[in-house]
Amino acid sequence: MLRLGRREFDAHEPVIMAIVNRTPDSFYDQGATFRDEPALARVAEAVSEGAAIIDIGGVKAGPGEEVTAEEEARRTVGFVAEVRRRFPDVIISVDTWRHEVGEAVCEAGADLLNDAWGGVDPRLAEVAGRFGVGLVCTHAGGTRPRTRPHRVAYDDVMADILSVTRGLAERAVSLGVPRESVLIDPGHDFGKNTRHSLEATRRLGEMVSTGWPVLVSLSNKDFVGETLDKPVKERVLGTLATTAVSAWLGARVYRVHEVAETRQILDMVASIAGHRPPAVARRGLA
């Protein structure tokens, strides 16, 4: 079972996490949700399209201008509180690696801390345990926050992913994070080249077999762009193909920009797998 915030999800229920970046320089939307009202409108739209989780980030993942913990908190804490007020049942996630920010957003009502940089600040898991919120444990290959991988190499990338994420997950539980609220993430593009990310996708079933629910963050990433030789704005089809493969292999949570399109992909895969009946079944029955 997966439990996040007030929600419980059964074993075959895919969960969509919608991205809402509170940054002026995000790689995909270029700051479209930096201001409060567009960001709140994005939350409303994502929820209406089927997102169960809203993932709020205050720092661009890639290199760029320095963002202090104070500035990151300024961009996220008040917004978390307002989303909690307007959408009391939505699961609020915050994408941060800093324990100071994690503590502030949990006090404001966050349900989940999305640690995309693989435990670089070990105190973040302590915060999640103290507040009893969920935690995403990500493989980042030892990469420092906001840096790009350079000639990274693994003897076996999936073996490293499994070792790191399971270790982070077990530590989180030992610190008080509810076991049913811990997720593991292979960290596509984080500390990886394109071939590593493709292999992580191909072998995702090995992560699923650990028993920890798997989150994938695939949306419009560089490994999709390099695989198809497409710029950022032309990666949706590649992202959705990767989403379908990940769903077939058993991923549980999908961090995305395109909520409605992802919902259709997940519903279709679930129906093919026999976990969801068709929405309408008239053909050949009249």
pTM of the shown model: 0.96
Of 22, 192, 221, 252, the catalytic one is 221
pLDDT in tens, 173-214: 999 999 999 999 999 999 999 999 999 999 999 999 999 999
Q: Is the pLDDT of residue 163 over 90?
A: yes
pLDDT at position 98 = 98
Active-site residue 230, yes or no?
Answer: no
Q: Is the pLDDT of residue 286 over 80?
A: no
* Cα distances (angstroms) measured from residue 89 to each of 94, 110, 158, 213, 221: 16, 11, 35, 21, 29
pLDDT in tens, 209-224: 999 999 999 999 999 9
Rounded to an integer, what is the distance from CA 132 to the centroid of its chain? Answer: 19
> What size, in residues, is the chain?
286
Assess contact for 137 and 182: CB atoms under 8 A: yes
Concatenate the DSSP letters of all residues of 135-181 into one string.
EEEE--TTPPTT----S---SSHHHHHHHHHHHHHHHHHHTT--GGG
Strands (E), the chain: 2-4, 7-9, 15-21, 53-57, 91-95, 112-115, 134-138, 182-185, 215-217, 253-256
**Nearest-5° angle of CA 199, CA 242, CA 164?**
45
Q: Is the pLDDT of residue 39 over 80?
A: yes
Rounded to an integer, what is the distance from CA 251 to the centroid of its chain? Answer: 11
* Cα distances (angstroms) measured from residue 107 to each of 50, 193, 200, 262: 26, 37, 35, 31
Between CA 198 and CA 150 the distance in angstroms is: 17
Band of pLDDT at residue 151, cut at 50, 70 and 90: very high
**Rg of the chain over CA atoms, in angstroms?**
18
Mean pLDDT over the full length of the chain: 97
